[in-house]
Amino acid sequence: MALMDICADCAVRDQALCGSLDDRELSALNTLGQRRRVARGESVIWAGDESVICANLLSGVLKLVASTADGREQIVGLLYPADFVGQLYADQADFTITALTDAELCVFPRKAFERVLEDHARMEHLLLQRTLLALNEARGRMLTLARKSAEEKIAGFLLDMASRAGSSGCRATPDGPLTFDLPLNRGQIADVLGLTIETVSRQMTKLRNAGVIGLPGGRAVTIADRTGLAVRAEAG
Amino acid sequence: MALMDICADCAVRDQALCGSLDDRELSALNTLGQRRRVARGESVIWAGDESVICANLLSGVLKLVASTADGREQIVGLLYPADFVGQLYADQADFTITALTDAELCVFPRKAFERVLEDHARMEHLLLQRTLLALNEARGRMLTLARKSAEEKIAGFLLDMASRAGSSGCRATPDGPLTFDLPLNRGQIADVLGLTIETVSRQMTKLRNAGVIGLPGGRAVTIADRTGLAVRAEAG
DNA sequence: CGCATTCTTGATGTACCTCAACACTAGTGG
DNA sequence: CCACTAGTGTTGAGGTACATCAAGAATGCG
């Protein structure tokens, strides 16, 4: 049956909220869910619009953007595969959600998903735990945004991205040099860290000149001296 | 019975998470809960310590503080009566929680409270909704911290505090002058907004000189021109 | 009243922003 | 294969908002 197929070949079947459901329960969600591809740069949800959909992210990276009336922007969260997308129990969306890379979603009508949640305590419990984690992360980020220097912000960000890239590759050498591609361009990094493009660029070359990282070209970064980076992330 | 008494005279019985329980269910919590008074300045939970307790806040205001290794601090949240206090499903506390005013708590062992939550889907649901609200607020605050000017931060903060003070008093004149006491001193306001004491002070007197607010003395503030304040909160 | 704390105000410094030019990369079509 | 272009990243010069350092002034408590 076609409906079952969309979960059968789901790359995040076990990591996403759906992981809490058995095959029988999953079929209920199946009738609601719909696969959707979005291109890099395309928005999934606009701040201010009615909150009608939510989704599981299957592949790609999304950004969660808050902005002022006069157009200043701040990325308040990044969403990775298996993350839950959207605002439940809210009439309006507070943040704009846009694809940073081509991405694939499993989209649900918001209200219908909330109803499913009501009947599945384990799934709601998982969502609670994720939300608590996200809240802690957001609060940690408040400290970074408000109190850390540009150098500390960049160093911390690169460590974050490295651990994320490293975990998926499951490297044998946790302390050796690691090279990976950033999913964000300089402007987006600036939007994450509350800086400007120029400051991001300058700090990156400063770290390269210090021999702590390498910048082989494109969006690639190599972590040459992880402890050096960690030191700069903590005090500056 | 003495156990029942601690809920019977609870000031936040209906607003707190317990509001989701009927009298019978409440007695179960009763056997776990314990009233505790804390003095202004006293800490309830320390960052890095094992997360062994949680609580409902009955009266007073608490601050949630994140800090760097070298002592820079950021208040990442304020807790008011009926708010839930503590970190569930975590071994360690990530933030220090300290009383800004004398306060009263209804304290529970964390693990025991988690077990109660398991059996009471409605309470867990309430907690989820609160957590989602807190997450949205934290994300909004990220925009403020990273992208707004000192004037915008102060104006927005005063509007926040005014609406909080106004709502409890249930004023008849939403647009007339409103006077209230800030629960925070200048240093704490600075810690909330990611500024310094001096900048907070300067911006306050600037707003007073502009006729937008009055500073009658002590920690009192009067909102003289709410729309003027709102304008300054949005663009500056 | 006297002492400690908090708040205000001033002078100076600096980290980051802004504006501007240039270099690199990648994709397109001749 | 190489110009052509648009997007992205780098580097420089200069400005500014806020921090820092340093005195006083006001407040509040014993």
- Find which of A133, A147, A189 to mutate to test the B interface (most B CBs within 10 Å of its CB): A147
Range list of β-strands (E), B30-181: 34-38, 43-45, 53-59, 62-67, 73-79, 84-85, 96-99, 103-109, 178-181
Residues recorded for chain A: 236
Which phi and psi angles does B187 have, rounded to 5°? Answer: -65, -40
pLDDT in the model for residue A23: 82
Answer whether A133's CB lies under 8 Å from B94's CB. Answer: no
Answer whether B232's CB lies under 8 Å from B155's CB. Answer: yes
Distance between CA A138 and CA B141 in Å, rounded? Answer: 9
Low-confidence ranges of chain B (pLDDT < 50): 1-3, 170
Distance between CA A38 and CA A25 in Å, rounded? Answer: 27
**Three-state DSSP class for residue B13:** coil
Answer whether B47's CB lies under 8 Å from B67's CB. Answer: yes
pLDDT in the model for residue B171: 53
Question: What does the H/E/C string look like for chain A?
Answer: CHHHHHHHCCCCCCCCHHHHCCHHHHHHHHHHCEEEEECCCCEEECCCCECCEEEEEEECCEEEEEECCCCCEEEEEEECCCCEECCCCCCECCCEEEECCCEEEEEEEHHHHHHHHHHCHHHHHHHHHHHHHHHHHHHHHHHHHHHCCHHHHHHHHHHHHHHHHHHHHCCCCCCCCEEEECCCCHHHHHHHHCCCHHHHHHHHHHHHHCCCEEEEECCEEEECCHHHHHHHHHCC
Beta-bridge partners for B158: none
Q: Do A235 and B70 touch (CB under 8 A)?
A: yes
Nucleotide nearest to B217 (CA to C1'): D27
Q: Do B146 and A87 touch (CB under 8 A)?
A: no
Of B95, B128, B142, the CB nearest to A141: B142
Of B69, B125, B138, the CB nearest to A124: B125
Q: Do A142 and B70 touch (CB under 8 A)?
A: no
pLDDT in the model for residue B22: 84
Answer whether A105's CB lies under 8 Å from A58's CB. Answer: yes
Beta-bridge partners for A105: A36, A57
**What totals of helices (H) and strands (E) does chain B contain, helices first?**
8, 11
Q: Do A89 and B132 touch (CB under 8 A)?
A: yes
Distance between CA B121 and CA A132 in Å, rounded? Answer: 17
| Residue A217 burial class via C-beta count within 10 angstroms: exposed 0-12, middle 13-18, buried 19 and up | exposed
B139/A contact by beta carbon, under 8 A? yes
- Residue B198, CB, less than 7 Å from strand C? yes
- Find which of A76, A96, A157 to mutate to test the B interface (most B CBs within 10 Å of its CB): A76
pLDDT in 10s for each residue of chain A, 236 residues:
444 567 888 889 889 998 888 888 888 788 889 999 999 999 999 999 999 999 999 999 999 999 999 999 999 999 999 999 999 999 999 999 999 999 999 999 999 999 999 999 999 999 999 999 999 999 999 999 999 999 999 999 999 999 988 765 545 455 668 899 999 999 999 999 999 999 999 999 999 999 999 999 889 999 999 999 999 998 65
Of B66, B136, B146, the CB nearest to A140: B66
Q: Token digits for A42? A: 């395309």
Distance of CA A143 to the CA centre of its chain: 19
Q: Which residues, 6 or more positions from A105, have their beta carbon under 8 angstroms from its beta carbon? A: A35, A36, A37, A38, A44, A55, A56, A57, A58, A85
Question: Looking at beta carbons, which residues of chain A come within 8 Å of B146?
Answer: 74, 145-146, 193-194
Distance between CA A150 and CA A144 in Å, rounded? Answer: 10
Distance between CA A128 and CA A133 in Å, rounded? Answer: 9
Taking CB atoms and an 8 Å cut-off, how many pairs form between chains A and B?
A: 125
Distance between CA B37 and CA B40 in Å, rounded? Answer: 10
- Residue B187, CB, less than 7 Å from strand C? yes
Q: Token digits for A169? A: 């590759």
DSSP B84: E
Of A76, A87, A139, the CB nearest to B143: A76
Question: Looking at beta carbons, which residues of chain B come within 8 Å of A73?
Answer: 147
Q: Which residues, 6 or more positions from A17, have their beta carbon under 8 angstroms from its beta carbon? A: A56, A84, A123, A126, A127, A130
B128/A contact by beta carbon, under 8 A? yes
Taking only residues 195 to 234 of chain A, the set having a beta carbon closer than 8 angstroms to any beta carbon of chain B reads 234
Answer whether B57's CB lies under 8 Å from B85's CB. Answer: yes
- Nucleotides, chain C, CB distance < 7 Å: 6-11, 15-20, 24-26
| Among the listed residues B61, B57, B54, B71, the one whose alpha carbon sits nearest the alpha carbon of residue B105 | B57
Answer whether B162's CB lies under 8 Å from B236's CB. Answer: no
Q: Which whole-number Å values give the CA distances from A103 to A97, B35, B75, in the listed order?
A: 12, 50, 35
